[in-house]
Structure 1
């Protein structure tokens, strides 16, 4: 027997609360794409209901979701109500553990997504440039090599570890941060590369 469709979200419900409702129903977590699909299926009014094949629509949908997720993570931690794991391939609600999962105040990803200027100021041309080279290689199955090349670490071989990658990440964020005149699209590529490399160098 077919399951009855879930009711639409109330239009006044915040996107963070809508995501929390779906994540509570998925204890193993959800990938970003599936979470977006579920939000759209329940007619969330906070996301564009346009084709994700449009690159700017895809960027804005991604940005709005991650803005909501980082706001939700902050709130859950402050309320001691849980910890939200935010990774590109798995967004998962975990139990709160006192003293071990505090929200870092120097998290560049958090800073990026909580700054709505990046949503307003990113143009279709910016998104096109963002998707060139690095992102093209990443989606072609060469994500690790693409990320290492972006960090200019692809020649370090066996000497490479997570501590070195983090050091290089901090250098690049400092160099390309928009507050210092850098490019928001370049910063987003750097942030995504760090998420990729964290999966390979634990």
Structure 2
């Protein structure tokens, strides 16, 4: 999408337009890039190399996604499936109610205090906390959470994990705007999962 987004639209409306134009869904990275190329004034128009800029951009996009999910659900107009790997607009189905009843991530991203009160040190602590879990007894669980496979419904196999790994590497590679530290974290998680699923 190279067309400029209407700057008078709220971020939720801009996101909705982008999701409607991509029935197969978009990754978080693709969504951010399309918002930037459409000159959205709602997210920082800065390189995502700085950890705090990356966090704030991610937070604003996920805040809009959860608001949009609530709005569409309330109108029975659709359901937004949210994950950094794939954000997709799905038709409304009453059976999805359980997915939106209690979601700690929803609570986190809809509380703008978490955006306002998070500084660069906090972002570093979030990353350090992740690494501690990776090195402790919960390394497998932490790696699955990073790959967003912790709630995967079918039995996991190495082929599925490698597919997700390739998606994450492609998405977070420094040549595509990602960070080296994030890529190292993904590689470490893959090493751990290979030990458990090989």
- Give 3-state SS (helix, strand or coil) of 1:93's partner: strand
RMSD of aligned Cα (Å): 2.8
- Residues 194/105 of structure 1: CA separation in 2 closer, same or farther (3 Å cut): farther
Q: TM-score, normalised by structure 2?
A: 0.68
Unaligned runs of 5+ in 1: 138-144, 156-164, 166-188
1:33-82 CA deviation, whole Å, 9 max, x = no partner? 01000000000000000110000000000000000000000111111111
| 1:63 corresponding residue in structure 2 | 59
User: Residue 12 of structure 1: which of 4, 8, 18 is its match?
Assistant: 8
Going from structure 1 to structure 2, the CA distance change for 1:132 and 1:42 (only over 3 Å counts) comes to same
Tell me the residue number matched to 1:185: none
Superposed counterparts of 1:1-202, under 5 Å: 6-97=2-93, 99-102=94-97, 104-132=100-128, 134=130, 146=134, 152-153=137-138, 193=146, 195-199=148-152
1:201 and 1:115 mapped to 2: Cα distance?
32
TM-score, length basis structure 1 = 0.67
SS at 1:38 equivalent: helix
Q: What is the alpha-carbon distance in structure 1 between the residues aligned to residue 92 and residue 110 of structure 2?
A: 22
Question: For this pair of structures, how many residues does the alignment match?
Answer: 153
Gaps of 5+ in 2: 156-198
How far apart are 1:201 and its partner, in Å? 6.2
